[in-house]
Structure 1
Amino acid sequence: MNRSSILRTASFLSILIVLYGCKTIEQPGKETKIPEEPLPAYESIGFYIQAGDPDKALNEFEKAYSRNPEGKDTKNLYSSLLLTVGKVEEAESVIREVLENDPENTDALYNLAMLESIKGNREGEKEALENILKIDSKDTRALSSLGELYLTEKKYDKAEEAFNNSLEVDPSDVTARSGYGNLLLRKKKYDDAVKQFDKLVEEKPDYSFAYADRSRAKSGLNDADGALADLNKAVELDPEYYWNYIDRGKLLLFLGEREKALSDFSKAIEIDPGYFYAYIYRAGLNRDMGNREEAESDYNKVMELKSDYYFIYEPFAVLEYERGNYKRSAELWKLAMERWPEEPSYLLMRGISLIASGREKEGRELFKSQMGSLPRDSYFYDLARMFAEPGYDIFLFNKLEKENTVPLKMRVLFYAA
């Protein structure tokens, strides 16, 4: 779940629980002591949400719901809990029932917006939020959520208006403050973004995303130390959040702390071994550190998890060539060629890898068949022809003797060697 979804889910659950007199919900992740005595029905719902156990909250609610199923507020709370535990179809049935009898019920409309968001129906979500604002133009839930939608759509002026309108009504609105700060980040107004996240930290000192986002703003101001301090705090507050370790690992790489960066990428993998992103960074870092077997293992994992992530084709192909695994290197260069057919260096490296793997005939045939696609006045053409036609290397080296551009000359010699 992304951070805007977390914010909005917490927001709508908090509002609905408060309707029943429950205590303010603390940020998920805080340790909550199990009560020794059974709690009254609605208090127990709040307790289990506070403890990070929405399934038990739903079970407690269903007990209370069976005794008083007809109240609109009861049904709204029920549908919100169903959404939280992923029972989307059941939640939709309850939401539609409320709206059929009361089309202007803003709580039900907000739950409908959340439902459409879960279903990926952005237009349906936007319509529900706009309908709320037609009824109550100061509904901060709808304003901040609409701001998030506009931010996603890069409609920055509309997003700014929605966030500011929400903050005018409620300066403590976490979603609006966070969204406005991220809007300023996208506009590269880093000083202003830091100020917004400062306010968010002051308002919600235990909210990890405030520190993570402020670190990005500080990075934009070249305050690497300040950014690192904020990421350290974000990790402290939420030690199981995958992206905190990715962000801190990248920053540590920038600061030259390669071992610490490697540790962070490994921690991210420990948290979610089924997601490919951390493997990419760890593979590149392992390669740079000379850990070629570990790098190969990580690149293979990326190919297993997301084989169409084409950005790794080139570095993985280079690694395999360096390791002497020329056959695998040729396969990867072929993938790179298919993704970027206009890049002549991939053709050259694929052919060279084929020849190095012992498939000389196949490599030379590749150069013969593809040579005509290269500009005749380029060194790429000369190199392909050198591999395709024995003896052409004499012409190429004579041409290189007259070349005054040293980097270009060195690059051609690399391929020729």
Structure 2
Amino acid sequence: MTAGISTVLIWRNICIKESGMKKLTLSATIVLILVSVLSSCGSTPKQEKQPVLQQESDAGQQGKSETSAAESGAAAVNQPEPVQNEENPAEAAQVQDPPDVSFAKKLKEYLDKDDMAGALASFDTMSDALKDDTDLQILHASLLVSAGRGAEAAEIGSALQEKDGKNISVLELNAQIAAVNGDKKKSNELAGQILAADPYNASANIQLAQQQVLQRKYKIAYNYYKKALTNDPDNADALFGCAQMAYYLDNLDESKATFQKILDRDGTNAGALAYMGKLSAEQEKYVQATKYIQDAIKYAPDNYSFYLDLGTYQRNQENYDEAEKAWTKAVGLNPDYFLAYAYRAGLYNEMNRYADSLADYYSVVKTNPKYYYAYEEIGMLEWHEKNWAKSRAGFMKALEFSKDNYSYKLMVAATYLKEKNTVECKNFLKTAMRNMDTSSVEYGMLRLYNDQGGINAENAILPKIDKIEKTTPRGKMWFYMGLYYELKGSQKLAEEFYTKIMNMQTPMFFEYELAEWGLGK
């Protein structure tokens, strides 16, 4: 730039894994470059705070979920004050800004209005004198990356690489562009070049940390983030990464202290507020967790994952209506992602709203066909509704994902028997029993359903069930014994086995709910 700005690119790549997509935005690069330019003419703009949002994926979340961010540093060289015309103050007052400052001011106007299209279009009309300015080209590429136009950013980056291949800012830019465009090899090569010249370079170390996070190698990622802080101890994204990795590594005190440090500097950091909520929830302080996540939502009202957390905290306080509202909001934000449907479906089931629960589980498998747990739930709920064919379809689909699951096999057989279709039941079980250990209690139960027993067969399997030491497999077998008697019309015997299951402490198997229904509860 004409003002002689020395710029090292600062990135805040906000990667939010929602709906199977990756959303990328840029924050501090533009602000810092513009501040540097405008400060040279005595017009430093107010720096806007933008939160770094980093959230967990899939499923399951269900669990600790994973996300990534990267940042380097920026430095501005002071520019000389404009020479005032002492003889003619009026003329001095009308001195025009240098071209780069004028351009930066206009660009900032677009960005202040969140007008990315206008900001990018301004580069097409910039003066010839500015088109070759390295810092402005870096800024242009940064905006293109932020707008999701990685291929165009790569063209600029390649041109800058040819022009000034040893410029650290250019190397950082191209490493980030390669990462965004999915070229891991090139990204790593460029990061290697940066670290060869500057082993503690924040941007490169953060980039390597991100890659380790994606591989769930949290300890290695943590070490890279720590290295990034060596020469840049206040690097917000490296601090965030350290805090996040400490959370994943169960170093909760360190995680809390680091996130608090971030919030002491920037109380609007939504990502840090969200993690403080998670940390509170780890201690079952759900009221406090709710306050943190509500504050996070104030600064990032469209963050899908935040509403998942809010719903979870509300549910744990038995505020079911509020939990439903939170997960419904998440569904509205991203109807093509499965997780909010799954959470809400479980809530509806708990509230005995079985039709609503079923509808949500069907939405789960529509948006994520590989989430086989939902097929199990569909099988159960359709069983409750006495839709035997649909129940069978659910359990058959679940069986595709868990081919040796004897519970699914028995439930499929039971749906045939509910329809009095013993022929198809036997055909199915003939295949289902193939290659099973004939001495196992699981095989014995499938054989009982196939042969429809007789007193000797029943008496033969009962001692085997009683010898099962672990409570869960024994409880599951009690259920299938009870269901066998129910299918045979011996409701009293069935209820004896179902009652045994009800008397178990916190059973963790889906047959427990089926036993409840079998008792009419």
Match of 1:312 in 2: 374
| Alignment of 1:414 onto 2:482 | yes
The alignment covers a number of residue pairs equal to 407
Alignment identity in percent? 22
Question: 1:65 and 1:321, CA in 2 relative to 1: closer, same or farther beyond 3 A?
Answer: farther
Question: 1:288 and 1:384, CA in 2 relative to 1: closer, same or farther beyond 3 A?
Answer: same
| Alignment of 1:54 onto 2:149 | no
CA contact (8 A) 1:150 1:159 kept: yes
Match of 2:302, SS state, is: coil
Cα distance in 1, alignment partners of residues 401 and 127 from structure 2: 56
Match of 1:245 in 2: 307
| Alignment of 1:92 onto 2:154 | yes
Question: 1:238 and 1:351, CA in 2 relative to 1: closer, same or farther beyond 3 A?
Answer: same
Match of 1:266 in 2: 328
| Alignment of 1:130 onto 2:192 | yes
Match of 1:373, SS state, is: coil
Question: 1:408 and 1:102, CA in 2 relative to 1: closer, same or farther beyond 3 A?
Answer: closer
Question: 1:108 and 1:6, CA in 2 relative to 1: closer, same or farther beyond 3 A?
Answer: farther
CA contact (8 A) 1:299 1:316 kept: yes
Match of 2:37 in 1: 20
2:406 is aligned, of 313, 329, 344, to 344
Match of 1:64, SS state, is: coil
Match of 2:408, SS state, is: helix
Match of 1:355 in 2: 417
Considering Cα pairs closer than 8 Å and 6+ residues apart, tell me whether 1 or 2 has the greater RCO. Answer: 2
More helix by share: 1
CA contact (8 A) 2:293 2:306 kept: yes
The CA RMSD over aligned residues, in Å, is 2.7
Farther-moved stretch of structure 1 (108-117 vs 406-415) = 406-415
Question: 1:67 and 1:170, CA in 2 relative to 1: closer, same or farther beyond 3 A?
Answer: same
- Cα shift at 1:230: 1.1
Cα distance in 2, alignment partners of residues 51 and 105 from structure 1: 32
Question: 1:186 and 1:401, CA in 2 relative to 1: closer, same or farther beyond 3 A?
Answer: closer
Offset from partner CA, 1:30-56 (integer Å, 9 cap, x none)? xxxxxxxxx943123223334433222
Cα distance in 2, alignment partners of residues 408 and 338 from structure 1: 21
Question: 1:110 and 1:401, CA in 2 relative to 1: closer, same or farther beyond 3 A?
Answer: closer
Cα distance in 2, alignment partners of residues 118 and 272 from structure 1: 22
Gaps of 5+ in 2: 1-13, 39-43, 53-100, 468-473, 487-521
| Alignment of 1:163 onto 2:180 | no
CA contact (8 A) 1:379 1:412 kept: no
Cα distance in 2, alignment partners of residues 16 and 190 from structure 1: 36
- Cα shift at 1:112: 1.3
Question: 1:356 and 1:67, CA in 2 relative to 1: closer, same or farther beyond 3 A?
Answer: farther
1:149 is aligned, of 199, 211, 222, to 211
| Alignment of 1:398 onto 2:459 | yes
| Alignment of 1:329 onto 2:346 | no
CA contact (8 A) 2:51 2:299 kept: no
Q: Normalising by the residue count of structure 1, what TM-score does the alignment of the two structures yield?
A: 0.88
CA contact (8 A) 2:24 2:146 kept: no
1:206 is aligned, of 245, 258, 268, to 268
Question: 1:65 and 1:380, CA in 2 relative to 1: closer, same or farther beyond 3 A?
Answer: farther
Match of 1:9, SS state, is: coil
CA contact (8 A) 1:28 1:51 kept: no
CA contact (8 A) 1:400 1:409 kept: no
CA contact (8 A) 2:376 2:395 kept: yes
1:2 is aligned, of 15, 20, 30, to 15
CA contact (8 A) 2:445 2:461 kept: no
Offset from partner CA, 1:228-255 (integer Å, 9 cap, x none)? 2211211222221110001121222233
Match of 1:36 in 2: none
Match of 2:515 in 1: none
In structure 2, give the amino acid aligned to 1:76: I
Cα distance in 2, alignment partners of residues 160 and 274 from structure 1: 32
| Alignment of 1:64 onto 2:126 | yes
2:358 is aligned, of 282, 293, 296, to 296
Question: 1:65 and 1:415, CA in 2 relative to 1: closer, same or farther beyond 3 A?
Answer: farther
| Alignment of 1:184 onto 2:246 | yes
Cα distance in 2, alignment partners of residues 251 and 98 from structure 1: 49
In structure 2, give the amino acid aligned to 1:367: L
Cα distance in 1, alignment partners of residues 417 and 306 from structure 2: 44
Cα distance in 1, alignment partners of residues 254 and 51 from structure 2: 28
Farther-moved stretch of structure 1 (217-226 vs 287-296) = 217-226
In structure 2, give the amino acid aligned to 1:57: A
Cα distance in 1, alignment partners of residues 281 and 398 from structure 2: 33
Question: 1:412 and 1:28, CA in 2 relative to 1: closer, same or farther beyond 3 A?
Answer: closer
In structure 2, give the amino acid aligned to 1:27: Q
Cα distance in 1, alignment partners of residues 310 and 454 from structure 2: 49
- Cα shift at 1:60: 2.3
1:381 is aligned, of 417, 434, 443, to 443
Offset from partner CA, 1:258-306 (integer Å, 9 cap, x none)? 2221111101011111222111111111112111111111111122222
Q: Normalising by the residue count of structure 2, what TM-score does the alignment of the two structures yield?
A: 0.72
- Cα shift at 1:187: 1.2
Question: 1:59 and 1:386, CA in 2 relative to 1: closer, same or farther beyond 3 A?
Answer: same
Question: 1:11 and 1:123, CA in 2 relative to 1: closer, same or farther beyond 3 A?
Answer: farther
Gaps of 5+ in 1: 30-38
CA contact (8 A) 1:113 1:126 kept: yes
Farther-moved stretch of structure 1 (144-153 vs 54-63) = 144-153
- Cα shift at 1:378: 3.3
CA contact (8 A) 1:143 1:163 kept: yes
Match of 1:273, SS state, is: coil
Farther-moved stretch of structure 1 (239-248 vs 402-411) = 402-411
- Matched ranges for 1:215-226 at <5 A: 215-226=277-288
Match of 2:341, SS state, is: helix
Structure whose alpha-carbon radius of gyration is higher: 2
